[in-house]
Amino acid sequence: MKNFIFIIVTFCLTSSAFAQSKIEKDLQGLWKMTEMNVGGILANSTTKEIKFTKELESKLTADQRAAFNANKQAFLDKINGSRVTFVDKKVNYNIAGVEKAGTYTIKPQADAYILTINGSDGSKDTMAIAIRDGKLRIVNSDDSTRAEMVFAKIVIK
């Protein structure tokens, strides 16, 4: 019985290590943001659509809607220009004009991973990540805002 338990534990540890090394390998390269969901605003730079959640829609005034529509293209351009690059254990990113560089670590958690970025400026960011259907999905939450971002890998030929 002890041997059976040992085999199961060894299998679980090996599977976890394999999965972690696979996501680290899959992360390598340049990723371009295609979608963002932040504060009830759902934006897709591929389809050039911006939608609001029902909750946010009900709170927007006519003036706020008009101001947002006037700046819609600038918002989509910021999303379209957002990138993240993973090379070995280094990460560089520009998300909506905010640029950072540093190193990262990954730890498994449920059906995703926890990505911790130690910025070269001394900052530390922690977010959940997963790669599903060839897309990198990042969820970043702080005390006031939750941002969900979807990235497509850029293949350089």
- Rounded Cα–Cα distance for residues 11 and 88 (Å): 27
How far apart (Å, rounded) are the C-alpha atoms in residues 90 and 104?
6
pLDDT at 140: 86
The Cα–Cα gap between 42 and 148 comes to 9
Per the CB < 8 A criterion, the answer to whether 108 and 18 are in contact is: no
Please state, rounded to an integer, the average pLDDT across all residues of the chain: 84
pTM: 0.80
Q: Is the dihedral of CA 136, 100, 128, 24 positive or negative?
A: positive
* Amino acid identity at 152: A
Residue 155 carries which DSSP code?
P
Exposure string for 55-91, b = 16+ CB within 10 A, e = fewer: eeeeeeeeeeeeeeeeeeeebbebbbebbbbbeeeeb
Span 38-73, pLDDT tens digits = 888 899 999 999 898 999 888 889 998 888 888 889
2-154, CATH topology level:
Lipocalin (2.40.128)
Task: Give the count of beta carbons closer than 10 Å to the beta carbon of residue 127.
Answer: 17
Candidate from 71-75, 103-107, 132-136, 139-143 with smallest mean pLDDT = 139-143
User: Which has more pLDDT, 82 or 1?
Assistant: 82
pLDDT at position 131: 94
Residue 108: phi and psi, rounded to 5, are -70, 145
Give, in order, the Cα–Cα distances in Å from 61 to each of 38, 54, 70, 145: 19, 13, 14, 21
In the numeric block, the tokens 């497509």 are attached to 152
